[in-house]
Structure 1
Amino acid sequence: MRISTVTIFEQSVGSMNRQQADFMHLSQQLASGRRVVTPSDDPQAASRAVAVGQSQAVTQQFTDARVSARNALSQEESVLNSVSDAISSAKALLVQASNGTLSDADRQSIASELRGIYETVMGQANATDGNGRYLFGGYQDSSAPFVDTGDGVVYQGDDRVRHQRVDASREMPVGDSGEDIFLSVPSGAGYVAQQGKVDADGKVVADNSGSVTFKGPQVIDNSDPGYGQRYQVVFGSDDDGNPTYSVQQQDEDGNWQSIGVDDQPYDPEGTSVEAGGLRLELKGEPHNGDSITYAPASEMNTNLFESFEKALAVLENPAETPSEQASMKNTLNTVMREFDAGLDNVLTTRASVGARLNELDVIDSVSGNRQLNYAQTMSDLVDLDYNQAIAEYSLRQVGMQAAQQAFIGIRDMSLFNYL
C-alpha cells in the first residue's frame, strides 16, 4: 500500500500537536500548582473539590460572624466592668455616709460624689456600640433605652436580645437586655428591708413617723417553711401606752395575715424579731402604725437607678429630727442591700458574657481544626505532586523534541533528493 507524502505530513503534524498540547497542559499544572486545572482532568476530584470549597466558604462566614459577636460581647463586658466598679464605689460612699458623726454638709458632699457616679451608671446604661446602636435596648436600639422622665428613670427598650449564628449548630445571644441588667436582681439575692408600708413593687406607700431603725434581715434558718415570703413588723401600743409589735405575712392575694406573733412587748433599746427563718434587729421609738417591711430582693425595689435616687434624696436633705435621722439610716441600709443585689446581678451577667466569649474561643479552635482538615482534603484532591510533575515534564519535553526530529527526517525523505 502506498502512503502519500500528505498523509505522512498530516500524521506527523498531528503527533507534534498532541505532544505540544500535553506539554502545555503540564506547564499549566506546574504554573498553577494544581493537578486539576479543568474539571475534565479528574471529574470526580473536581466535583468533590467544589463541595469542599463550599464548606470552606461557609466555615469562613461563621468565622467572620464570630468576630462580630466577639466585638459586641467585648464591648458589653467592658461596660459591665465599669458599672460594677461604679456600684462598688457607690456602696463605699454609703458606708461612709452612715457614719453618725458626719454633718449635713459632709453628707451633701458625699451626695455630690454619689450623683457623679449615678450619672456615670446612667451613661453606661445608654452606651452605644460605636455605630449608633444602643447596647442595652434590645431590638429598640435606635434610641436611648433609659430616660429620666422627672419622676424616675424608665426603660424604653424591650426584653428581646439579638442573636447571631456563630456555628452551624450554635446561635448565640450577642447582648443582654437593659431590663435584665439594671432593673432586675438575681434569684437567691436574699432579703431586703424597707421602712414603712410598701406596695407589690417595693415602693413606699406609707412612711414611718417614729425613729425606729433596723439592721438586717439576717438569715438564720433558710429551711423554715415561711422562708421566702414577705413580712412586715407593725408597731402599736398596749393599754398602758407601752410600744408593742406584731408580725404579719402577706398571702397570695396580697392580704396581710397574722402568724401568731401579735402585740409583743417592744424595747426601744433593742429588740430582735424572728420570723420566717429571718432575724431583724430593731431599735428606736416607734409611733403607732409604723412598720418595717422585708421581703426577697426580687419582690422589692429592683430598679438600680431608683436606689441611687433614694440615697441621694436623704443625703441631699438635712436630717435634723430623730425621725429624719432614722429615715436616713434606714434608707441607706436599704439602698446598700439593693446595691448588693444589683452588683450581684451585674456580675452574674458579666460572668455570662465571659462564658460566651470563652465559648467563642472554643468554637474558633474547633473551626480552625476543621479548616485545616478541609485544606488537607482540598490539597489531596487538586494539588500537584511536583516531583512527579517535573519528571513527567522532562519526559514530555524529550518526547516532543523526538517527534520534531522525526518529522524533520520524514519530511526530507523524497526520491527527488537522489535524482
Structure 2
Amino acid sequence: MKLPDNLLFSIFQDQDARIKKALSEKTLDIATGRRIRALSEDPPTTYNVIELKKEIAQLSQHSQNRLFADTNLTYADFTLGKMEDTIKNLYADLLRAKNSATLSADQLVALSEGFEQSNRQLLDRVNERLGQNYLFGGSTLTVKPFDENTLNYQAGTEDFEVWISENSKVSVFLEGRRVFKTNLYISLATFNSPTDNFTSAGSIVLQIGANTYTVNYGGAGEPQNIEELANYINSNFGDKIQAFVSTNPDGTYSLALSTKDLSADIQFVSITGDLSAGFENPNILQVVKRVKDKLGNGIYPDEFDLFSLNRSYDIVAMRRSEVGSVLSVVKNLQPTQENLDLVLKKQKSDLEDADISESIMEYTRYKIAYEALMRIVADQKDLTILRYI
C-alpha cells in the first residue's frame, strides 16, 4: 500500500533535513579536522578546551624559561670552573714564592706581573656576557658588574629570576657582589710593626650567625698589639674565627680576620679603640690585587696571603656547587615538562579534534541512508525514467 502524498512529503522533509545536516557536519569534520568549531556548539567542552590552551601556553613559557635558565647556568658553571683553575694556579705560584727565601725583588716583581695578568683574566670572567646581558650583573642585566679600576661591584643588588614551573623559580643572572664576596676582613687601621703597642684601649664586638663575641684589647691584662691580639683571638675563639697579622702593600701591618666556617660572615656590631676605623671586606678580585701589589713592591707573601687565595678558591668552588645544584634541578625538569605537554595536548585533541576515520565512516553511513530515502520515495511514487520518455 502506498503512503499518502502529504505524509510521504512530511517524512521526506524531516529525514532529508536530518541526513543533510549530519552529512554537512561530517563533511566539515573531515575538511577541518575539528569536532568543535564554535563556542555555541558545545559550551562545556569549549570551556575545557580554552582552559587546556591556557595550561599549554603557560607550560610553553615555563619550558622556554627552563631552557633559558639551562643555557645561562651552564655558562655560569663553565665560567666559575675557569676561575677555579686560575686561582688554583695563583695559589701554587704564591706557595712556591713563600717557601723560597731566596727570591730577589726582581723575581717578586715578575711574579706580580703574572698575578696582574691573571687578575685581568678573572675580571673578564666576572664581567662575562651572554648575549647583551652580564652573567653576574644580577637584575640590572646590562650594567657591567665590576669596575675595571676599583674592582668594586656596581650592578644589581639581587639575582634575576625566572619561573620554570607554576611553583618554582630560579636565578639565571647572579648578583656578583654575593657570588664573589669573601669572608676576609682586614683592619683599616695600620701599624708600623706588629708589636707596636695600642695607644687607645678598646673592644671589637662581632657577630657570627646567632652568636656574639667581644674581644677586648689594650687594657690591663689584655693584648697590647695586633700580634698579641691575633694570638689571643686564635686561642680563645679559634673554633669560630681565624686571626692573622698581615703585611700591607705599603709595608705596614694590619689585623686580618676570617671565619672558620666557609659559608659564615662576620658582622661587626661595634668597634672602639685603635681599630675603630673598622675593617675592609675585599672581594676575590681585590684579594688577588692585594697580593699582586705586595709582590710588585718586593714584599714576600705571608700566611694570610696564602689563606686568602685558598679561601677565594673555596668560595668560587662553593658558588659553582650552588649553581650546579640548581642546574641539576633545571635539567631534571625537562622530561617532566615534555611529558606534561604531551598529556595536555592529547586531552585538548580528544576534546577538540575530530576522529577522521570515524567521521568518514559516519559520512558514508549518512550518504547510504540518504540514497535509501530517495529510493523509498521513488518506489512509493513509482518514479522511473520511463515515465518521462
TM-score in same-fold range (> 0.5): yes
In the other structure, the counterpart of 2:289 is: 309
Check 1:42–1:148 CA distance in 2 against 1; reply closer, same or farther (3 A cut). Answer: closer
In the other structure, the counterpart of 2:67 is: 67
Give 1:206's match in structure 2, choosing from 190, 193, 197. 190
| Structure 1 residues 20-419: aligned runs within 5 Å | 20-39=20-39, 42-98=42-98, 99-131=100-132, 133-149=133-149, 152-182=150-180, 184-185=181-182, 202-209=186-193, 234=195, 250-251=204-205, 256-257=217-218, 260=221, 275-278=235-238, 293-297=255-259, 298=265, 301-318=281-298, 327-330=299-302, 333-385=303-355, 388-409=358-379, 413=383, 417=387
Residue 180 of structure 1 deviates from its aligned partner by 0.9
Q: What is the alpha-carbon distance in structure 1 between the residues aligned to residue 147 and residue 338 of structure 2?
A: 44
Residue 141 of structure 1 deviates from its aligned partner by 3.5
Letter in 2 for 1:55: E
Letter in 2 for 1:349: R
Q: What is the alpha-carbon distance in structure 2 between the residues aligned to residue 23 and residue 329 of structure 1?
A: 92
Partner-residue secondary structure (3-state), 2:308: helix
Partner-residue secondary structure (3-state), 1:158: coil
Q: What is the alpha-carbon distance in structure 2 between the residues aligned to residue 167 and residue 84 of structure 1?
A: 32
In the other structure, the counterpart of 1:228 is: none
Does the Cα contact within 8 Å between 1:161 and 1:174 map onto a contact in 2? yes
Residue 125 of structure 1 deviates from its aligned partner by 1.6
TM-score, normalised to structure 2, is 0.73
String of CA shifts for 1:164-204, please: whole Å, max 9, x gaps: 1221112322222111122x226xxxxx6xxxxxxxx5145
Does the Cα contact within 8 Å between 1:181 and 1:349 map onto a contact in 2? yes
Does the Cα contact within 8 Å between 2:186 and 2:256 map onto a contact in 1? no
Tell me, which stretches of 5 or more residues in structure 2 are unaligned? 207-213, 246-251, 260-264, 267-279
Check 1:259–1:388 CA distance in 2 against 1; reply closer, same or farther (3 A cut). Answer: farther
Does the Cα contact within 8 Å between 1:93 and 1:114 map onto a contact in 2? no
Q: What is the alpha-carbon distance in structure 2 between the residues aligned to residue 370 and residue 291 of structure 1?
A: 63
**Aligned pairs, how many?**
345
Residue 335 of structure 1 deviates from its aligned partner by 2.3
RMSD: 4.0
Identity of aligned residues (%): 19
Does the Cα contact within 8 Å between 1:35 and 1:384 map onto a contact in 2? yes
Q: What is the alpha-carbon distance in structure 2 between the residues aligned to residue 89 and residue 259 of structure 1?
A: 45
Letter in 2 for 1:308: V
Q: What is the alpha-carbon distance in structure 2 between the residues aligned to residue 52 and residue 281 of structure 1?
A: 64
TM-score, normalised to structure 1, is 0.68
Q: What is the alpha-carbon distance in structure 1 between the residues aligned to residue 145 and residue 223 of structure 2?
A: 46
Partner-residue secondary structure (3-state), 2:134: coil
Partner-residue secondary structure (3-state), 1:160: coil
Check 1:83–1:347 CA distance in 2 against 1; reply closer, same or farther (3 A cut). Answer: same
Residue 355 of structure 1 deviates from its aligned partner by 1.8
Letter in 1 for 2:84: S
Check 1:400–1:39 CA distance in 2 against 1; reply closer, same or farther (3 A cut). Answer: farther
Partner-residue secondary structure (3-state), 1:202: strand
Larger % of helix: which? 2
Does the Cα contact within 8 Å between 1:45 and 1:381 map onto a contact in 2? yes
Letter in 1 for 2:166: A
Residue 317 of structure 1 deviates from its aligned partner by 3.0
Residue 10 of structure 1 deviates from its aligned partner by 8.5
Letter in 1 for 2:174: D
Residue 96 of structure 1 deviates from its aligned partner by 2.5
Does the Cα contact within 8 Å between 2:108 and 2:300 map onto a contact in 1? no
- Of residues 252-261 and 42-51 in structure 1, the stretch that sits farther from structure 2 once superposed is 252-261
Q: What is the alpha-carbon distance in structure 1 between the residues aligned to residue 172 and residue 254 of structure 2?
A: 42
Tell me, which stretches of 5 or more residues in structure 1 are unaligned? 187-191, 193-200, 210-232, 237-246, 283-289, 319-326
Residue 205 of structure 1 deviates from its aligned partner by 3.2
In the other structure, the counterpart of 2:248 is: none
Letter in 2 for 1:354: G
Does the Cα contact within 8 Å between 1:137 and 1:157 map onto a contact in 2? yes
